[in-house]
Structure 1
Amino acid sequence: MVLSRFWLVIFISSILFIVVALFSGNNYAIDYVLNGKKDDPILVSEKYLNDIPKFVKDSIEKAPEMTLVVNRDTLNSDTTYVFKNKTVKIYSGIQKSDGLLPTCKNSLLDLIIPLIAYLAFFCGIMELLIISGASEKLAKKLSPMFAKVFPSVPKNHESISYMTLNFAANFLGLDSAATPFGLKAMQSLQEINPDKDKASDAQIMFMCLHAAGLTLIPTSIIGYRAAENAANPADVMLPCVITSFIGTIAAFLIVGIRQKVNFKSAGLLAALMGVIGGIVGLLFYINSLDLIGKNHFTGNLSGLMLIAIIAFTLIFSFIHEKKFTAHATTIFDTFVDGAKNGLNTGVKIFPYVMGMLVAISLFRNSGLFEIISNGISFAFSNIGVAKDITDALPVAMLRPFSSGGSRGFMIDAMRNFGPDSFTGRLTCIFQCSAETTFYVIAVYFGSVNIKNTRYTLSTMLLVDLICVIAAIFVAGWFF
């Protein structure tokens, strides 16, 4: 219900803002909101050739194809004059994101189709884990710990193994694998959900822990920093780990208090200390390496772990091939059946993803997001918050709505302020330490037709806020 109302508020407020801007003269046209593409120039005016300044008119007539670009600057928006059909169209500024119709198209072509491919492959792998008995063995080993965090999940339930694989993939920065494992976990938890329209306690806990995004190797962030010629692309790795860990602990405590989880459990404390010890030990090892060693280790660890999971699944399935025979199937046929389930899941979640992305597209292109963002930055600057922090806030604000949008702001900040500036580093930590909240909710709950998400959205947004605050303090501590 909360998500539905929030979606309506974004949609309706954006539409109203667009209409008011058009009739008040702030916008010349609104076609870009419907049909424009990201980074396209925005039409701001149209005049007859004789109505523009003479020096501009003369320049247009001499320019190739009668198109004039004024003040060519790689860092700022240009004003472009295009003479066509007896009028001069004047463009200035660029579009923040794709319009409504391109978003509908791209959500299918650029997002859902690749996601379906990942889902098909990893769901095939997961089907092998089920039939071979590997998931059952993993669930038995982890049941004592998961019983404390997810008391409503039966002992040795298959969802435990799926959640474990999802957390492990997130931990290693394997987004392509994390989503299929997470969707399988949600579907498995839905089977034991007594109210199929309402999110269960276990589903909410899983979603919030997943969204906190505990990451050990932020490979994509390191890659973007390397592309921007950072002196040490991996220098934000430890701050990213610390910030995402704080977010994970916050999510666990917030949801755990609401669900009355027993925090005094010796088993739970031992498991938590074990995870902390493992992370600290690995970070100390990485920190002991030189720059080339860090780049090599962090660049290969995630890939090796993914290959190890696939190899283990196939070898374990081969060793226990008799179980496949008992189910009147083969290893390959089982993989194909699992892949078909992944395909169906991808098709099922498409309307949820498209609906959320279209609302976010209108929100950004309407200019409403920019006004809110600038207002918050202005308010923070007036209470004494340093400018290098406020310059990074657009990434933090946009992250829950759009991964691509916040990534664009992050890259832009590194280019404008420098990848080794405080702002450049802080934007990287913001990008790494939170999840695309609205997209994740649409995908995961949409895959199991959950209509009432209860307190999931408010908790995830609160965790996002905690991650933002933690990122600022951690970045200040390190840099």
Structure 2
Amino acid sequence: MVLSRFWLVIFISSIVFVIFSLFSGQNYTIDHVLNGKKDDPILISEKYIDQIPAFIKDSINTSEEKTFIINRDTLNADTTYVYKNKTVKIFSGVQKSDGLLPTCKSTLLDLILPLMAYLAFFCGLMELLIISGVSEKLAKVLSPVFVKVFPSVPKNHPSISYMTLNFAANFLGLDSAATPFGLKAMESLQTINPEKDKASDAQIMFMCLHASGLTLIATSIIGYRAAANSANPADVMLPCIITSFIGTIAAFLIVGARQKINFKSASLLMGLMVLIAAIVGLLMYVNHLDLIGKNYFTTNLSALILIGIIVATLIFSFVKEKKFTEANTTVYEAFVTGANNGVKTGVTIFPYVLGMLVAISLFRNSGLFEIISNGLGFVFSNMGVNKEIVDALPVALLRPFSSAGSRGFLIDSMNTFGADSLTGRLSSIFQCSAESTFYVIAVYFGSVNIKNTRYALGTMLLVDVICVITAIFVASWFF
């Protein structure tokens, strides 16, 4: 219900603001909101050639392309004058994201189809894990901890192994694997959900822990920083881990208090201590490496672990081939069956993702997001907050809405202020330490047709705020 109302508020307020901007003269056209593409120049005015300054008119007349470009502001896109059909069109600035119709197309072609391919592959592997008995063994090993965190989940339930794989994939920065494992976990949890259209306590806990974004190897962030010529691309690893870990603990405590979980459980405390020990141990190992060693380690660890999971699954399936025979199938046929289920899941979540991304597209292109972002920046500046921190806030504000959008702000901030500036580093931590909340909710709850998300959205947004505040303190402390 909350998600539905929030979606309506974003959609309707964006449309109203677009129409108001058109009739108030703030926008010359709103075609870019519907048909424009990201980074396209925006048409701001149209004049007869006699109405423009003489030096621009002369330059257009002497230009073979009948265009003239003015470098008005080095921080913004050039202002371009294009003469065609007796009028001069004036463009300035670039579009922040795709318009409504291109978003519909890109959601299918650039997001859903690749996601369906990942789902098909990893759901095929998970079918092998199920039939071979690996998932059952994994659930038995981890049940003592998981039944404390998820009291409503029966001991040795298959969802435990799926959630474990999802957390592990997120932990190692394996985004392509994390989503299929997570969707399989939601489907498994849905089988024990007494109210099928309402999120269960276990599903909310899983979603909030997933969205807190605990990451150990921020492979993509390191890659962006390296591309931006950072002297030490991996120097944000520790701040990212600390920030995302605090976000995860906050999510657990907030949801746990709501669900009255026993925080004093010995098995729960032991599991937490093991996790902390693993993080500290790996950090100590990475810390003693030189720059090349860090880059080599962070680049290869996640990939090697993913390959290891795939190889181990196939080998174990081959060893337990009798179980596939007992199930009247073969290893390959079981993989195909699982892959087919993954494709069906992708088709199911498409409308949910489309609806959310179209609303976000309207929100960004309407100008509302920019007004809110600038307003918050003005408030924080007048409160005495460091300008370098204020310059990084657009990444934090956009992250819950769009990973691609916040990534664009991240790259822009590093190009503008420098990858090793406080702004560049803080933007990297913002990008790494939280999830795209609205996208995640649309995908995961949409995959099992849950309409009432209860307090999941509010909790996830609160965790996002906690991660932002923590990132600012951690970045200021480290850098």
Identify the residue that residue 86 of structure 1 maps to in structure 2: 86
- Partners of 1:416 and 1:307 lie apart in 2 by 37
Query: What is the Cα deviation at residue 64 of structure 1?
Result: 2.6
Deviations 1:398-435, CA, capped at 9 Å, x for gaps: 00000011001011110111000001000000000000
Equivalence for 2:31: 31
Deviations 1:215-270 (A, max 9, x none): 00000000000000000000000100000000000000000000000000011001
Please give the alpha-carbon distance, in whole angstroms, between the structure 2 residues aligned to 1:139 and 1:333. Answer: 24
Q: Name the residue aligned to 2:431.
A: 431
User: Do structure 1's residue 76 and structure 2's residue 81 form an aligned pair?
Assistant: no
- Secondary structure of residue in 1 paired with 2:29: coil
2:256 corresponding residue in structure 1: 256
What is the CA distance between 1:53 and its match in structure 2? 1.5
Distance in 2, matches of 1:293 and 1:175, equals 23
Per-residue deviation, residues 374-395 of structure 1 (Å, max 9, x unmatched): 1011101111111011010000
Match in the other structure for 1:381: 381
Question: Pairwise mapping of residues 278-427 of structure 1 onto structure 2 (< 5 A)?
Answer: 278-427=278-427
Shifted more, 49-58 versus 259-268: the winner is 49-58
Structure 1 residues 72 and 387, CA, compared in 2 at 3 Å: closer, same or farther?
closer
Q: How far apart are the structure 1 equivalents of 2:64 and 2:415? A: 31
1:13-52 Cα deviation digits (max 9, x unpaired):
0001000000000000000000000010000111111121
Moved more, 378-387 or 69-78: 69-78
Alpha-carbon distance in 1 for matches of 2:368, 2:255: 32
Matching of residue 224 in structure 1 with residue 228 in structure 2:
no
- Counterpart AA for 2:154: P
User: In structure 1, what residue type is equivalent to 2:107?
Assistant: S
Alignment partners' CA distance in 2, 1:304 and 1:451: 38
* Matching residue's letter, 1:206: F
Secondary structure of the residue aligned to 1:184 is helix
List structure 1 runs of 4+ shifted beyond 6 angstroms: none
Alpha-carbon separation, structure 2, partners of 1:270 and 1:283: 20
Corresponding residue for 2:145? 145
Instruction: Determine the structure 2 residue equivalent to 1:129.
Output: 129
Aligned to 1:443: 443
Aligned to 2:215: 215
Instruction: State how far apart, in whole Å, the 2-side matches of 1:62 and 1:353 are.
Output: 49
Q: 1:183 aligns to what?
A: 183
1:67 and 2:67 are equivalent in the alignment: yes
SS at match of 2:473: helix
Structure 1 residue matching 2:65: 3-state secondary structure: helix
Structure 2 letter corresponding to 1:464: D
SS in structure 2 at match of 1:392: helix
Query: 1:64 is paired with a residue of what secondary structure?
Result: coil
Number of the residue aligned with 1:242: 242
The yes-or-no answer on 1:196 pairing with 2:196 is yes
1:476: Cα distance to partner? 0.9
Q: Which residue of 2 aligns with 1:41?
A: 41
SS where residue 385 of structure 2 aligns?
coil
Count of aligned residue pairs for this structure pair: 479
Number of the residue aligned with 2:453 = 453
* Secondary structure in structure 2 of the residue aligned to 1:413: helix
How many angstroms apart in 2 are the aligned matches of 1:146 and 1:325? Answer: 32
2:268 equivalent to 1:271: no
SS at match of 1:353: helix
Q: Whole-Å Cα distance in 1 between the matches of residues 281 and 80 of structure 2?
A: 56
Measured in 1, the distance between the counterparts of 2:465 and 2:54 equals 53
Q: Deviation of residue 54 (structure 1)?
A: 1.5
Cα deviation, 1:121-149, whole Å, max 9, x if unaligned, reads 00000000000000000001101110000
Deviation of 1:71 (Å): 1.2
Inter-partner Cα distance in structure 1 for 2:83 and 2:423 = 41
RMSD over equivalenced CA pairs, Å: 0.7
1:472, 1:49 → 2: CA distance? 50
In 2, the alpha carbon distance for the partners of 1:292 and 1:52 equals 56
Provide the rounded CA distance (Å) in 2 between the counterparts of 1:420 and 1:352.
Answer: 38
User: Per the alignment, in what secondary structure is the counterpart of residue 113 of structure 1?
Assistant: helix
Following TM superposition, by how much is the alpha carbon of 1:75 offset from its aligned partner in structure 2, in angstroms?
3.5
Structure 2 CA distance for aligned equivalents of residues 470 and 47 of structure 1: 50
> Secondary structure at the residue paired with 1:65?
coil
1:15 aligns with 2:15: yes
Secondary structure of 1:82's aligned partner = strand
Q: Aligned partner of 1:453: which letter?
A: T
The equivalent residue for 1:462 is 462
Aligned counterpart, 2:166: 166
| SS class of match (2:424) | helix
How far apart in 2 are the matches of 1:65 and 1:286? 55
Distance in 1 between residues matched to 2:51 and 2:303, nearest whole Å: 61
Determine helix, strand or coil for the equivalent of 1:216. Answer: coil
The residue identity in structure 2 corresponding to 1:330 is T
Give the Cα separation in 2 of the matches to 1:13 and 1:139: 46
Q: Quick one: distance in 2 between partners of 1:306 and 1:15?
A: 44
Provide the rounded CA distance (Å) in 1 between the counterparts of 2:274 and 2:6: 39
For residue 74 of structure 1, report the CA deviation from its aligned partner.
5.9
By how many angstroms is 1:214 displaced?
A: 0.5
Shift of 1:76: 2.0
Report SS of the residue matched to 2:47: strand
* TM-score, with structure 2 as normaliser: 0.99
Q: Which amino acid is 1:251 matched to?
A: A
**Post-superposition shift, 1:356?**
0.3
Q: C-alpha distance in 2, partners of 1:94/1:292? A: 37
Identity of aligned residues (%): 79
The one-letter amino acid paired with 1:387 is K
Report the secondary structure of 1:419's partner residue. Answer: coil
The 5-angstrom pairing of residues 91-110 of structure 1 reads 91-110=91-110
SS for the counterpart of 1:47 is: strand
Q: Normalising by the residue count of structure 1, what TM-score does the alignment of the two structures yield?
A: 0.99
- What CA distance in whole angstroms lies between the structure 1 residues aligned with 2:349 and 2:10? 20
Task: Quote how far apart the aligned CAs of 1:73 are.
Answer: 6.4
